[in-house]
């Protein structure tokens, strides 16, 4: 009976943890560009998107020809009541650049008159248009671009989850006391 109570306690702990995933998402992407030889160049990266403050952190973006894009330039988020029906806070555009500003990578969901859906503040995988800005050339359009958005657990939720597992383990593992 005691083990049954312990397992009934675990879903309760997990139900408390689930709402704690609300504000942070990890965004990872890979974009391929047809540019000289070899035929494709790639830019891949990741960052953490805090939807409550509309900020980015933990930026790690690199290309396969020696560039790093640590500088956040700009982002455009959907406003409440926008004419396209996107949820408020959806990410329509972002741009990062190299330290010397010689190259830029951007994702622009508004490229085709907002027909491309933005990155929603929810887990999912999106096909998005990417552009690579190089010196002395017109921006290159990606031949393929995919973005994955996943939830990032906040430290409080991880603590609650660990506490739930610990309590369950202690209840199950504790020795039986006999009178």
Tell me whether residue 37 is in a domain. yes
CB atoms within 10 A of CB 50: 13
Question: Domain limits at 140?
Answer: 23-153
What was the pLDDT predicted at 56?
Answer: 94
With a cut of 70, list the residues of the chain below it in pLDDT.
1-22, 35-39, 110-115, 154-161, 171, 173, 175-179
Q: Does 127 sit behind a cis peptide bond, omega within 30 degrees of 0 on the bond before it?
A: no
**Is 39 among the domain residues?**
yes
**6, part of any domain:** no
């Amino acid at each position: 009976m005691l083990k049954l109570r312990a397992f009934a306690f675990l879903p309760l702990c997990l139900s408390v943890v689930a709402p704690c995933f609300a504000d942070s998402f990890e965004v990872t992407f890979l974009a391929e560009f047809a540019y000289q030889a070899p035929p494709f160049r790639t830019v891949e990266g990741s960052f953490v998107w805090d939807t409550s403050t509309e900020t980015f952190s933990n930026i790690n973006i690199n290309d396969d020809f020696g560039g790093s894009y640590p500088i956040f330039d700009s982002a455009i988020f959907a406003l409440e009541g926008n004419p396209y029906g996107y949820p408020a806070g959806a990410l329509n555009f972002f741009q990062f650049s190299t330290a010397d500003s010689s190259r830029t990578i951007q994702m622009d969901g508004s490229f085709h008159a907002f027909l491309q859906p933005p990155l929603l503040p929810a887990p999912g995988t999106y096909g998005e248009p990417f552009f690579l800005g190089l010196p002395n050339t017109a921006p290159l359009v990606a031949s393929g671009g995919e973005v994955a958005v996943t939830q990032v657990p906040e430290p409080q939720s991880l603590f609650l989850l660990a506490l739930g597992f610990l309590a369950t383990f202690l209840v199950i593992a504790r020795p039986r006391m006999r009178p």
